[in-house]
Chains A and B, each alone.
Chain A
Amino acid sequence: MNPNDLAERIISGDEKAASRAISMIENGEETGFEVLSKLYPKTGTSFRIGVTGSPGAGKSTIIDRLAFCYGKKGKKIGVIAIDPTSIKTKGAFFGDRLRLKNAEKIEGIFIRSMAHRGFSGGISKAALGAECILEALGKEIIIVESVGVGQTELSISLISDVVITVLTPDFGDEIQLMKAGLLDIGDIIVMNKMDIPNAEEKAKDIIHYLESIKGEISVPLVKTIARQGQGVELLIDTLEQEREKKLKEEKENKEKIKTLVIALIKEEMEKGIEEMMEKNITFNDLLAQVISKKLDPYYMARLVVSNILKNGKLEETLG
């Protein structure tokens, strides 16, 4: 398939072409990256909302309501739901789509499930590419649900303009909050499931905790009952306010792009090294020496990397 044609078809609104191009990027096909190179310079005006939080907190249900409300305002919407890849079998089961019952009714919504396929940080390597493609397809609001919890969740913020962290009143105690590291990211905290018993009380504890760690910097907190659609309009207002704020933070935005590029470089390197392990004779010789204890593993690692870096002049075109 010709990348020019494919890019044109995406811009003209062809869902099949968009969907195909996303798969190509997921599968590491050259054509997919060529399409992206054509589309990327034209992007940057959509509003990219990242949604993260502990499993079962209600991320998908919130996305369903957000998409529905934005849709009623006439916005064109794309949703990317990222689920974990099983480490053992490499398979994945996508369950988020089932929760998007209201959103599915919106005219022209595009929903895509993605497995993270081992990319560090809870997002998939292809997620940024998918965002670009959806924007080129004409989507104005792009919502990304990211998998699981943990410190590495930081990376959802790299591909989002604003990140929502979803918590529930039954999350547990302070120690669990601290351990999960969820509060380190997120521009807005959503306290969902406010309909469960003692919710107000538990929510207060968490708010106190937040104030004690975040100090002066206050993160807006929105209470919702997503299952009933309560609090969603307020969440949209808060999102729009945060978006305005973020647009002004030029330095932070540059920093984000840099971190993202470095993450992608590491990913590419990893792939390159795996290929090298299979083919390169010197590599395998050295490895044999480590196995027979003539060399130590640290030495070999430093030797390989210093060689790659020394020989690798940075050219401006892709060879």
Chain B
Amino acid sequence: MAEKRIKVLVAKPGLDGHDRGAKVIALALKEAGMEVIYTGLHKTIDQIVNIAIQEDVDVIGLSIMSGAHIPLTRKLMEKLKELGIQDKKIFVGGVIPSKDIPKLKEMGVEGVFPGGTPIEEIISAIKASVKK
């Protein structure tokens, strides 16, 4: 099926107002041949999940700089489970201390990209996850 494209939702949950990084990543993913939707700032987890359903994305990338990555990600994973859409691949990026990475992975997050992760690494991780 040659026409299949990877569809990615770049989401900004919670209170922080910094989306430079999220936008840079969104454009880089587009350059890598993906179809990318950006939610805009200050979305609730419910809104993000709703958008993910309507857009039928393969991947949700949360960009979190506020330090609330653990509770926000947990809430997302619970919501996805509740709605029966665990087939989406979840990535988390932003200001993430390395000690939290195992916790996020335990919740079912596919990959974690702390600030400064090379974009090529993000692209290949997303491509690999969708192929699985």
Contacts and interface: CB of A to CB of B under 8 A. Distances in A.
Contacts of B40: 97-98
Nearest to A29: B1
Interface residues of B, number: 29
Contact of B54 (A15, A26, A28): A15
B5 A113 contact: no
Interface stretch (A87-95, A144-152, A237-245): A87-95
A94 to B, nearest CB: 5
Interface of B: 1-5, 7, 26-27, 29-40, 47, 51, 53-56, 83-85
Interface of A: 15-16, 19-20, 22-23, 26-29, 86, 89-95, 97-98, 104, 110-113, 115, 117
B39 to A, nearest CB: 8
A28 B34 CA distance: 17
Contact of B5 (A93, A110, A115): A115
- Tell me the dominant secondary structure on chain A's binding face: mixed
Contact of B55 (A27, A91, A93, A112): A112
Contacts, number: 74
A192 to B, nearest CB: 22
A28 B85 CA distance: 22
Contacts of B36: 91-94
B54 A90 contact: no
Contacts of A16: 53, 83-85
A112 B38 CA distance: 13
Contact of A19 (B26, B34, B56): B56
26 contacts: A15-B53, A16-B53, A20-B56, A22-B56, A27-B5, A28-B2, A29-B1, A91-B5, A91-B31, A91-B34, A91-B35, A91-B36, A92-B30, A92-B35, A93-B26, A93-B30, A94-B37, A94-B38, A97-B37, A97-B39, A98-B38, A98-B39, A112-B54, A112-B55, A115-B5, A115-B35
A219 B50 CA distance: 39
A27 B30 contact: no
Given A16-B85, A29-B1, A90-B5, A113 B37 contact: yes
A16 B32 CA distance: 27
A27 B1 contact: yes
B123 to A, nearest CB: 11
